[in-house]
Amino acid sequence: MTLGQRLGRTASELLALQKAARSRPQKQVLAAQLQRLLEVTGTLVDANVERATPEYDAASRELEHAHHALEAALDDLAEVAEAIERTAKAVDLLAKLVVLAA
Amino acid sequence: MQRLASMLGRLSLATLMSAVGLACGLTTVQRQAALSLGQAAVTVGSFAATTFPEMRQTAIEMNTTDVTIGGHASRADLDEGFHVEHIASRVAAAHALEAYGELLRTLVEETQKDELRKASSRFVASARSVPGRRLADAQYEALGALVEGIGGMVVEARKARALERIVPAYKADVDHLCALLLEDFDPRGLHLAQRFEGALQRLDSDAELVLAARGGGPGGPALAVGGMRQVTDGRALLEVLGGRGRETVRALGKANTALDAALRDETFSLDDVRAVATRVESLAAAVRALAGS
């Protein structure tokens, strides 16, 4: 799976989880995560990302973890906090990738 | 007497050249392959040349709605990811594909020198304007000169020779143009469609927050519902791009490879030639559905 596919999948899952979440604060946190993710995705579209780097691998791995956490949260909303934490880690690593690509 | 013999000799030579010229024109299969590919390239090129500016316009409208409901889009950069320079280079590439298709069609169907010259000029000008083009300017001009040199008694043969030179020479460019479109049409390709999906997801998320909180200021919920409608339309466009759009571009690339082989008298897949016509029709139907016609 490519980085673009992972980013798109994570964004779709975050959006689905935001819509499924029951509390407003949770919706807002998930929306904020989504906006951060979309921001780095936009920057990565404009940048020429070097694929063969440890940062690229680390970001891809963390997106995979975020995907599993988001899937679990979509099944059981009690897992939302874990999904938010995992996604935040992935976005942090993506931000590092953006800095390297700039 | 000697003069008469010389004249008869020239006449015989001209007749022979004419006969050879007609005999050396395109075969039925080569004509069919060139016409199918030409039609496909015109359709895909014109679809892309229209769609990219539409994506920009739709992205601006979605971002405007998002700003209006107090969302995350930047009011200072409403065309974020769709700046004119980004779109212009893509439209140029789409026009190059369209001009190639038109040139193929003209070479098969037209006999008028003016038509050939017009198609050739447009092809050369547009091919030269594509970022990442594969040939030097002089090489595109040489290909154009081949077409402009067609005329006289051996038109069919010269048209066939021109196609035999142009299609292989321009093949790497067509592959390049197809690769650009495949990336830009892919919602997960880290190119234009993914940018578009990002704008759409941002508005979807912000509109959902407004509707959940009944916020967004006076008229906020109504604007948010309008935003949801824009999101729905945007998703339909992305679905066409990522689905039938990409399938048609892939079929176009294969048909170009098939035509290249056909013109070299090498083995090629007639199915690839036929498939592109089916894909083009399917894309056209989807575009009509999007336009509501």
Q: Buried b / exposed e across A9-23, counting CB within 10 Å, b at 16+?
A: bbbbbbbebbeebee
Closest Cα in chain A, distance from residue B88 (Å) = 15
Furthest C-alpha separation in chain A: 41
What tens digit of pLDDT does each residue of B100-126 get? 999 999 999 887 888 888 999 999 999
Q: Are residues A77 and A96 in the same domain?
A: yes
Residues 80-99 of B with CB under 8 A from A: 80-81
- Please judge whether A28 and B209 are an interchain contact, meaning their C-beta atoms are less than 8 angstroms apart: yes
Question: What's the pLDDT score for residue B1?
Answer: 41
Would you say residue B219 has pLDDT above 60? Answer: yes
Q: Are residues A42 and A74 in the same domain?
A: no
Question: What's the pLDDT score for residue B150?
Answer: 79
AA identity, residue B140: Y
Question: What's the pLDDT score for residue B116?
Answer: 87
Say if residues B177 and B123 touch (Cβ distance below 8 Å): no
Question: What's the pLDDT score for residue B21?
Answer: 41
What span, in angstroms and rounded, lies between the C-alpha atoms of B282 and A20? 36
Mean pLDDT of B132-142: 90
What span, in angstroms and rounded, lies between the C-alpha atoms of B82 and B57? 9
Closest Cα in chain A, distance from residue B215 (Å) = 12
Question: What's the pLDDT score for residue B232?
Answer: 96
Say if residues B39 and B100 touch (Cβ distance below 8 Å): no
Instruction: Indicate the average pLDDT of chain B.
Output: 87
DSSP three-state, residue B47:
helix
What span, in angstroms and rounded, lies between the C-alpha atoms of B238 and B270? 30
Q: How far does chain A reach from its first CA to its final CA, in angstroms?
A: 23
> Band of the pLDDT at B4, cuts 50, 70, 90?
very low
Would you say residue A78 has pLDDT above 60? Answer: yes
Q: Are residues A40 and A55 in the same domain?
A: no
What span, in angstroms and rounded, lies between the C-alpha atoms of A102 and B112? 53
What tens digit of pLDDT does each residue of B160-209 get? 999 999 999 999 999 999 999 999 999 999 999 999 999 999 999 999 99
Which of B101, B104, B93, B100 minimizes the C-alpha distance to B48?
A: B93
Closest Cα in chain B, distance from residue A52 (Å) = 17
Among A5, A24, A38, select the one facing B198 at the smallest CB separation. A38
For A32, the domain range is: 1-48
Number of domains in chain A: 2
Element (H, E) at B15: helix B2-23
- Please judge whether A34 and B81 are an interchain contact, meaning their C-beta atoms are less than 8 angstroms apart: no
CA–CA distance from A101 to each of A7, A46, B56 (Å)?
Answer: 16, 9, 25
Q: Does A101 touch chain B (CB under 8 A)?
A: no
Would you say residue A84 has pLDDT above 70? Answer: yes
Q: Which long-range contacts (CB under 8 A, 24 or more apart) does B212-216 make?
A: B212/A24, B212/A27, B213/A24, B215/B70, B216/B69, B216/B70
Would you say residue B5 has pLDDT above 50? Answer: no
Q: Does A80 touch chain B (CB under 8 A)?
A: no
Which of B126, B159, B120 minimizes the C-alpha distance to B142?
A: B120
Pick from A55-69, B13-27, B107-121: least confident: B13-27
What span, in angstroms and rounded, lies between the C-alpha atoms of A71 and A75? 6
Q: Are residues A57 and A99 in the same domain?
A: yes
- Residues in CB range of B116: below 8 A, 6 or more apart: B106, B107, B110, B147, B148, B150
> In a mutagenesis test of the A interface, which of B83, B202, B203, B228 is the best target, namely the one with the most A β-carbons within 10 Å?
B202
Chain Cα centroid distance, residue B16 = 40
What span, in angstroms and rounded, lies between the C-alpha atoms of B36 and B119? 17
Q: Are residues A31 and A55 in the same domain?
A: no
> Band of the pLDDT at B151, cuts 50, 70, 90?
low
Q: Does B260 touch chain A (CB under 8 A)?
A: no
Mean pLDDT of B228-236: 96
Question: What's the pLDDT score for residue B154?
Answer: 55
Which of B196, B198, B171, B170 minimizes the C-alpha distance to B184?
A: B196
Q: Are residues A33 and A58 in the same domain?
A: no
What tens digit of pLDDT does each residue of A6-57 get? 999 999 999 999 999 989 999 999 999 999 999 999 999 888 777 778 889 9
Would you say residue B11 has pLDDT above 70? Answer: no
- Report the interhelical angle of B28-68 vs B220-240 (nearest 10°): 160
- Report the interhelical angle of B246-263 vs B155-185 (nearest 10°): 150
Pick from A58-62, B80-84, B151-155, B165-169: least confident: B151-155
- Residues in CB range of B25: below 8 A, 6 or more apart: B156, B157, B159, B160
Secondary structure letter of residue B243 according to DSSP: I
Which of B291, B168, B171 minimizes the C-alpha distance to B233?
A: B291
Last residue of a domain, one of A27, A48, A69: A48
Comparing alpha-carbon positions, the chain A residue that sits nearest to B184 is A45
Q: Are residues A44 and A56 in the same domain?
A: no
Question: What's the pLDDT score for residue B152?
Answer: 54
Q: Are residues A71 and A96 in the same domain?
A: yes
Chain Cα centroid distance, residue B63 = 28
Question: What's the pLDDT score for residue B214?
Answer: 74
Say if residues B222 and B68 touch (Cβ distance below 8 Å): no
Q: Are residues A57 and A101 in the same domain?
A: yes
- High-pLDDT (> 70) share of chain B, %: 89
Give this complex's ipTM.
Answer: 0.94
Mean pLDDT of B255-272: 89
> Band of the pLDDT at B17, cuts 50, 70, 90?
very low
Write down the residue that tokens 């976005």 correspond to.
Answer: A91
Q: Are residues A35 and A65 in the same domain?
A: no
Last residue of a domain, one of A28, A48, A68: A48
pLDDT greater at residue B193 or residue B158:
B193
Q: What share of chain B is helix, strand, coil (3-state, %, to 5)?
A: 80, 0, 20
Which of B49, B126, B46, B130 minimizes the C-alpha distance to B87?
A: B49
Closest Cα in chain B, distance from residue A10 (Å) = 11
Question: What's the pLDDT score for residue B293?
Answer: 57
What tens digit of pLDDT does each residue of B24-74 get? 688 888 999 999 999 999 999 999 999 999 999 999 999 999 999 999 999
- Please judge whether B188 and A5 are an interchain contact, meaning their C-beta atoms are less than 8 angstroms apart: yes
Q: Are residues A43 and A85 in the same domain?
A: no
Q: Are residues A66 and A29 in the same domain?
A: no
